[in-house]
Chains A and B, each alone.
Chain A
Amino acid sequence: MIKKITSRYEFLVFMVILIFSIIIGLINPNFFSLENILDILQNNTLTGIFAIGMLIVVISGGIDLSFTAIATITGYTVAVLLLSHGSQLNIFVVFLIAAVMGTILGMVNASIIYFFKIPPIIATIATQNIYYGLLVVITQGKWLYGFPSWFGAFVKIKIFSLVNANDVKYGLSIVTVIWFAFIFLGWFILRKTVLGRSIYALGGSEASAQRAGFNILRLQLFVYGFMGLMAGIGSVIQALLVQTVAPNSLVGKELDVIAAVVLGGASLTGGVGTVLGTVLGVLLLAVMSNGLTLMHVPSYWYKVVTGFVILVSVAAGAWRKRAISNKKVIIEAE
């Protein structure tokens, strides 16, 4: 049983996080404070939510580079509505609007990929440009802020509140709870539903999936629609956290999200990946950036270190896999 746990890739990522944490904690004991940990969780909710959507896309054998553009559109739409009809809306309606729009835009991706047989990476680069370009044309790149006070109040909700030594309040943010809810949803879909297993199957072998009678179009609509849904939810979270919506605030986020998913053990060739791994992947990047800040490393170094961590982790994963398969060959030969 213990061996089963230690032999999993997720365990490796967990150990790396642990080692990083210990090193950072030794240099700056503030790292292990509850306040800092809750802070890390809240600040990485956005990446975390995007990553769940991306994980499902990657498992299905696809990729989506357009979700930040989708999130920008849904976030902007919500912001415009907040400014014009703020008093008639509430937080649920805001989430609902963003979710529905995001899902539809994601399904557009799925339809393009399915009907035109375009590789997902090309299709979503195209839609990323179209979605994002149209938004910039229409909005002229204007920043939106000054949302209704209830919108600002929602994000301050804490599930429990504590006070630190400097009399500043902190606690478990409602935003983090929303992330946890989606972690659970992602796990449930992938592990407990026939739909989820069909997505793994599709990523493992599309030809076999077709022969097994899976409805490929439906699966892809779900996969990219769910990514769009996560983009929509994420855009509201982002607006809540920074109380500003800018057309360019999410640009470049795609690669961080994909990096987190791959760090978590998902394979870009499809069929492999877990929610636990992805959450750990997000946390690994989060701990690193937080640690570098606490250790007073200039922020320019963050990208360099991230790059090395990705390289080393993925190489270690590939090396382990090869070692395992070599061992098998020798056993068979003997």
Chain B
Amino acid sequence: MADLFLKLSNVSKHYTGVTALDQVDFEIYQGEIHCLVGENGSGKSTLIKIISGTVQPDDGATIEVEGHVLHDLHAIDSIHKGIDIIYQDLSLFPNLTVMENIALRRYVAEGKRLVNWGELKKIATKAMARIDVSLPLEALAADIPIGDQQLVAICRALTRDVKLVIMDEPTASLTKKEVDSLFSVVLDMKSKGISTMFVSHKLNEVLEIADRVSVIRDGKMVGIYNPKELDDEKLTHLMTGKKLEYTPFARTQVAGEPILELRDLSRRGLFHDVSFKLFPGEILGITGLLGSGRTELALALFGVNIPDSGEIFFEGVPTKIDSIQKAVELGIAFVPEDRLVQGLIMNQSVSKNLTVTTLDDLVNRFKLLDRKMVKGRIDKSVKDLSIKIPSLDSPVQTLSGGNQQRVVLAKWIATNPKVLILDGPTIGIDVAAKHAIHQIIRDLAAHGIAILLISDEVPEVYNNANRVLIMHKGRLVKEFDEMDSTTMDEIQETVNLTA
């Protein structure tokens, strides 16, 4: 094997009263693809911050880069040693061109004062050539797909003599195709001796190409593993320290009248001729690739995208859902994909978020908010969904991803919905929280709520839905009715065929 690039030993970090890292050892070889996994709050981010030099470890730690012991690693040293971190948000400038996004940082680092646009272009072109990608240099970063934005961030790292690229949750919002092209870039960097460190809080594709996997839990390094010896179950166990009881979904036969029926619903450019029935107490899964029209269809049922043609029957009655108010009135609730942006008011308290959808019910006869009713509603939600919160007044943004999702769910359940549309309910949350959410969804269905579960994760719909529909380019291309006689691979393959 090649030489060690980075070696951390005995790294601890204590904040007042909290141990973020406890005697952690960590190493990466030159040209290695290393995956660091751990749940939220396991100490992953502290470790990255120490490597990036923005946080200093406690005394007693040693950091070696290319065999040289560093006494203090500060941000600027880390940069000079060739370490580059690509955060999940990619830290791009949406209003600048791809070219500037790639090259400007190096310009600033070199202390240049004047911009030579020709040189800027040369720097960007050279960086792209190193990994053999081609990006539209004149386009604004905001206008290119997220997968390309990721490549911009990588090219930005490659404008310098980079030796280690750390990527935080790199595949979270990429399509299958984009993940593949990211991987080929990473393998290309590997062949040039550049190390890559993937950081993730969930199980995902990055294991495919990783050389080694380090698992961290509660600030301690659990161990280093060969990814070929890991499967979902084992990794979950290592990450959480718990054996997750995964109860298979006992699918109940749904009968009776459909609560919602779509007949040839179309909207130009978004979805075409969509027909299906949804029964009370049923979980209907819809899957397909990013851009298949899943979300657009869901929004049509919530009064956002008004269909051009086709019919919607609600409880057997032809109904036009032409506004969100109308959808809410009918008893349709929608939990959006990007819960952070659309579902929650991030800087407001948990209690305000929990009651915002039902304010009309919580008023006294003067049409003013009734404090007691508000409190009762909040307490019930918190108890029902076991949301862990420091205080009802804490802003939602201070909660973990899983608890945020529960707040969104609670907010809508409070409206007593008949139909609950969940769009990517477990995106970006860790394994344990994911299972908890799945359990909640099943409980809701058991209470008679009809659930439309939209997800790009085939295992999620396979394991939790009575029936599964597959969408492609705005059309339903296949329906799986008998889940007990269908395997997950069959569904996955059907989805892959649409790529």
For the complex of A and B, 9 pairs with smallest distance between CB atoms: A271-B95, A204-B95, A204-B93, A330-B269, A208-B91, A211-B91, A201-B93, A212-B105, A333-B269
Q: How large is the interface on A (under 10, 10 to 19, 20 to 34, 35 or more residues)?
A: 20 to 34
Given contacts A204-B96, A271-B94, list 19 more A-B pairs with CB under 8 A. A192-B114, A192-B115, A194-B108, A194-B112, A194-B114, A198-B108, A200-B93, A203-B95, A204-B93, A205-B91, A208-B89, A213-B79, A213-B109, A214-B108, A271-B93, A329-B269, A330-B269, A333-B296, A333-B473
Q: Is the CB of B115 within 8 A of A194?
A: yes
Output the least CB separation between B367 and chain A (Å).
Answer: 33
Once bound together, how far apart are the Cα atoms of A192 and B108, in whole Å?
Answer: 13
Output the least CB separation between B307 and chain A (Å).
Answer: 15
Contact of B107 among A194, A204, A205, A272 (CB under 8 A): A194
**In the complex, which of the residues A209, A213, A328 has the most CB atoms of chain B within 10 Å of its own CB atom?**
A213
Q: Is the CB of B113 within 8 A of A193?
A: yes
Given the known interface contacts A194-B108, A211-B87, A212-B105, the answer about A200 and B269 at a Cβ–Cβ threshold of 8 Å is: no
Output the least CB separation between B255 and chain A (Å).
Answer: 36
B166 close to A (CB within 8 Å): no
Count B interface residues, CB 8 Å: 29
Once bound together, how far apart are the Cα atoms of A14 and B107, in whole Å?
Answer: 34
15 pairs, CB–CB < 8 Å, chain A vs chain B: A193-B113, A194-B104, A194-B107, A194-B112, A198-B104, A198-B108, A200-B96, A208-B89, A208-B93, A212-B104, A213-B75, A213-B79, A333-B291, A333-B296, A334-B473
**Residues on B with beta carbons closer than 8 Å to the beta carbon of A211:** 87, 91
A191 close to B (CB within 8 Å): yes
B293 close to A (CB within 8 Å): yes
B143 close to A (CB within 8 Å): yes
A37 close to B (CB within 8 Å): no
Once bound together, how far apart are the Cα atoms of A272 and B143, in whole Å?
Answer: 14
The B-contacting residues of A in range 299-334, CB under 8 angstroms, are 328-330, 332-334
**In the complex, which of the residues B75, B268, B269, B270 has the most CB atoms of chain A within 10 Å of its own CB atom?**
B269
B100 close to A (CB within 8 Å): yes
Given the known interface contacts A208-B91, A211-B91, A214-B108, the answer about A333 and B270 at a Cβ–Cβ threshold of 8 Å is: yes
**Residues on B with beta carbons closer than 8 Å to the beta carbon of A329:** 269
A155 close to B (CB within 8 Å): no
Contact with A along B81-108 (1 / 0, CB 8 A): 0000001010111111000100011011
> Which residues of B does A touch, CB under 8 Å?
75, 79, 87, 89, 91-96, 100, 104-105, 107-109, 112-115, 143, 268-270, 291, 293, 296, 473-474
A138 close to B (CB within 8 Å): no
**In the complex, which of the residues A196, A200, A328 has the most CB atoms of chain B within 10 Å of its own CB atom?**
A200
Q: Which residue of A lies closest to B75 (CB)?
A: A213
Contact of B108 among A212, A272, A333 (CB under 8 A): A212
Q: Is the CB of A208 within 8 A of B92?
A: yes
Interface of A, secondary structure class, is: helix
Q: Which residue of B lies closest to A330 (CB)?
A: B269
**In the complex, which of the residues B115, B143, B293 has the most CB atoms of chain A within 10 Å of its own CB atom?**
B115
**Residues on B with beta carbons closer than 8 Å to the beta carbon of A177:** none
**In the complex, which of the residues B95, B269, B291 has the most CB atoms of chain A within 10 Å of its own CB atom?**
B95
A158 close to B (CB within 8 Å): no
Q: Is the CB of A334 within 8 A of B269?
A: yes
**Residues on B with beta carbons closer than 8 Å to the beta carbon of A196:** 115
A207 close to B (CB within 8 Å): yes
Once bound together, how far apart are the Cα atoms of A119 and B95, in whole Å?
Answer: 21
**Residues on A with beta carbons closer than 8 Å to the beta carbon of B474:** 333
A197 close to B (CB within 8 Å): yes
A240 close to B (CB within 8 Å): no
A195 close to B (CB within 8 Å): yes
**Residues on B with beta carbons closer than 8 Å to the beta carbon of A194:** 104, 107-108, 112-115
Output the least CB separation between B290 and chain A (Å).
Answer: 10
Once bound together, how far apart are the Cα atoms of A195 and B143, in whole Å?
Answer: 24
**Residues on A with beta carbons closer than 8 Å to the beta carbon of B87:** 211
**Residues on B with beta carbons closer than 8 Å to the beta carbon of A208:** 89, 91-93
Contact of A195 among B93, B113, B293 (CB under 8 A): B113
Output the least CB separation between B267 and chain A (Å).
Answer: 10
Q: Which residue of A lies closest to B85 (CB)?
A: A211
**Residues on A with beta carbons closer than 8 Å to the beta carbon of B104:** 194, 197-198, 201, 212
Given the known interface contacts A200-B93, A212-B104, A271-B94, the answer about A191 and B115 at a Cβ–Cβ threshold of 8 Å is: yes
**Residues on A with beta carbons closer than 8 Å to the beta carbon of B108:** 194, 198, 212-214
**In the complex, which of the residues B75, B87, B109, B114 has the most CB atoms of chain A within 10 Å of its own CB atom?**
B114
Contact with B along A171-196 (1 / 0, CB 8 A): 00000000000000000000111111
**Residues on B with beta carbons closer than 8 Å to the beta carbon of A200:** 93, 95-96
Contact of A332 among B96, B107, B291 (CB under 8 A): B291
Q: Is the CB of B91 within 8 A of A207?
A: yes
Output the least CB separation between A90 and chain B (Å).
Answer: 32
Once bound together, how far apart are the Cα atoms of A212 and B75, in whole Å?
Answer: 11
Contact of A333 among B91, B112, B293 (CB under 8 A): B293
Contact of A193 among B75, B114, B270, B473 (CB under 8 A): B114
**Residues on B with beta carbons closer than 8 Å to the beta carbon of A201:** 93, 96, 100, 104
Output the least CB separation between A73 and chain B (Å).
Answer: 31
**In the complex, which of the residues B93, B94, B104, B296 has the most CB atoms of chain A within 10 Å of its own CB atom?**
B93
Q: Is the CB of B96 within 8 A of A328?
A: no
Q: Is the CB of B89 within 8 A of A207?
A: yes
Contact of A205 among B92, B113, B115, B291 (CB under 8 A): B92
Once bound together, how far apart are the Cα atoms of A271 and B95, in whole Å?
Answer: 6
Once bound together, how far apart are the Cα atoms of A169 and B435, in whole Å?
Answer: 85
Output the least CB separation between A327 and chain B (Å).
Answer: 10
Once bound together, how far apart are the Cα atoms of A201 and B156, in whole Å?
Answer: 15
Q: Is the CB of A197 within 8 A of B473?
A: no
Once bound together, how far apart are the Cα atoms of A187 and B291, in whole Å?
Answer: 40
Once bound together, how far apart are the Cα atoms of A214 and B107, in whole Å?
Answer: 11
Q: Is the CB of A197 within 8 A of B100?
A: yes
Output the least CB separation between A207 and chain B (Å).
Answer: 7
Once bound together, how far apart are the Cα atoms of A204 and B142, in whole Å?
Answer: 10
Q: Which residue of B lies closest to A331 (CB)?
A: B269
Once bound together, how far apart are the Cα atoms of A271 and B268, in whole Å?
Answer: 33
Q: Which residue of A lies closest to B293 (CB)?
A: A333
Contact with B along A191-232 (1 / 0, CB 8 A): 111111110110111011101111000000000000000000
Once bound together, how far apart are the Cα atoms of A184 and B212, in whole Å?
Answer: 56
Output the least CB separation between A9 and chain B (Å).
Answer: 13
Once bound together, how far apart are the Cα atoms of A167 and B421, in whole Å?
Answer: 79
Once bound together, how far apart are the Cα atoms of A204 and B141, in whole Å?
Answer: 11
Output the least CB separation between A76 and chain B (Å).
Answer: 35
Given the known interface contacts A193-B113, A194-B108, A330-B269, the answer about A204 and B143 at a Cβ–Cβ threshold of 8 Å is: no
Once bound together, how far apart are the Cα atoms of A37 and B461, in whole Å?
Answer: 69
**Residues on B with beta carbons closer than 8 Å to the beta carbon of A198:** 104, 108
**Residues on A with beta carbons closer than 8 Å to the beta carbon of B270:** 333
Once bound together, how far apart are the Cα atoms of A270 and B94, in whole Å?
Answer: 11
